[in-house]
Amino acid sequence: MTVHGRRPLGWAARYDIVLYLGLAYVLSWSIWPLVLLNPGSSPLVPFGPGLAAVLVALLVGGRPELLGLLRQLGHWRVDPAWYGIALGVPLAVPGLALWAAVIAGAPVPRWEPSDVLQVAGTIVVTIVIVGIFEELGWRGFLLPRLQRDHSALSAALITGLAWFPWHLPELVSDPGQRPLTPFAVYILAQSVLLAWLYNSTQASLPVVILFHAAFNSFTKFFLSDLQGSPYPYLVAWWILAGAVAVLAMAAVAYAGSRELAKGALRPAH
């Protein structure tokens, strides 16, 4: 097994995935006990996956490895259509979920023009606080390493299986915010879509980050007011999860499970 064309040296290179996952969890969950003292505080550090990726990259290959990881953040020159997908899909799917919730009995929302600026601001903040640090780790570091020995689809699902329990502090602290089963389906399916975006754009983390941040932001905007209506809220989450799962299956059918990148090889790492 090689990393960027070099022969891996030492224990860190042999156990890079295990080391990464351990650090990502430890760093991210480190403030969870503080919720006992301040129930209103965040139980999860979103910087954990990115910091873990940086530390392990340095341990595995030093400065060249780290630069190879960070270089993905600058790969923004891709077909503009990918940016359209990264914004359009996260807008359409939560919108569909909200529509289903209204049919199920939720009140029709009333929005103000200022809400557009609010959502735009939320996307920007989420890109910085959540998107960059999570995706530098999950897709920038973990996914390509898993793809050395697994198909792209298998690697995407394994990444999703690591990504889902990472949210455990949030799921325990606020169990009503994300219904467990549809959220699990949503995370696994979204992991496939993110892998498809990553491979199809030759490792463009800006596209992946935008997709992740936009999905979080639009889902929060469309669904947060439904939490007082348990049944419509659950309906919305199942529609959200089901729609993302259908899109993930469509991406696999279109791009192929081996590469998840029709017409192009997966990015080399």
Nearest to 214 by CA among 104, 110, 94: 94
Mean pLDDT, residues 106-123 taken together: 91
List, for residues 42-80, the tens digit of each pLDDT value: 889 999 999 999 999 999 999 999 999 999 999 999 999
Residue 269 pLDDT > 60: no
Instruction: Show the 3-state SS of the chain.
Output: CCECCECCCHHHHHCHHHHHHHHHHHHHHCCHHHHHCCCCCCCCCCCHHHHHHHHHHHHHHHHHHHHHHHHHHHCCCCCHHHHHHHHHHHHHHHHHHHHHHHHCCCCCCCCCCHHHHHHHHHHHHHHHHHHHHHHHHHHHHHHHHHCCCCCHHHHHHHHHHHHHHHCHHHHHHCCCCCCHHHHHHHHHHHHHHHHHHHHHCCCCHHHHHHHHHHHHHHHHHHHHHHHHCHHHHHHHHHHHHHHHHHHHHHHHHHHCCCCCCCCCCCCCC
Mean pLDDT, residues 172-181 taken together: 89
Interior CA angle at 151 toward 135 and 134, to 5°? 10
d(CA 141, CA 30) in angstroms, rounded, equals 21
What pLDDT, on a 0 to 100 scale, did the predictor assign at position 265? 54
**Confidence band, pLDDT 50/70/90 cuts, at residue 268:** low
Give me the phi and psi of 223, to 5 degrees please: -105, -15
pTM: 0.92
Residues with Cβ within 8 Å of residue 266, at least 6 apart in sequence: 144, 147, 152, 199, 259, 260
* Alpha-carbon torsion angle 135, 141, 145, 151, nearest 10: 10
Mean model confidence pLDDT for the chain: 92
Cβ atoms of 43 and 10 closer than 8 Å: no
The pair of structure tokens assigned to 57 is 């990259």
What pLDDT, on a 0 to 100 scale, did the predictor assign at position 163? 98
Burial of 116 (0-12, 13-18, 19+ CB in 10 A): exposed
What pLDDT, on a 0 to 100 scale, did the predictor assign at position 173? 86
What pLDDT, on a 0 to 100 scale, did the predictor assign at position 262? 77
| Long-range contacts (CB closer than 8 Å, 24 or more residues apart) made by 65-69 | 65/3, 65/4, 68/4, 68/269, 69/136, 69/140, 69/141
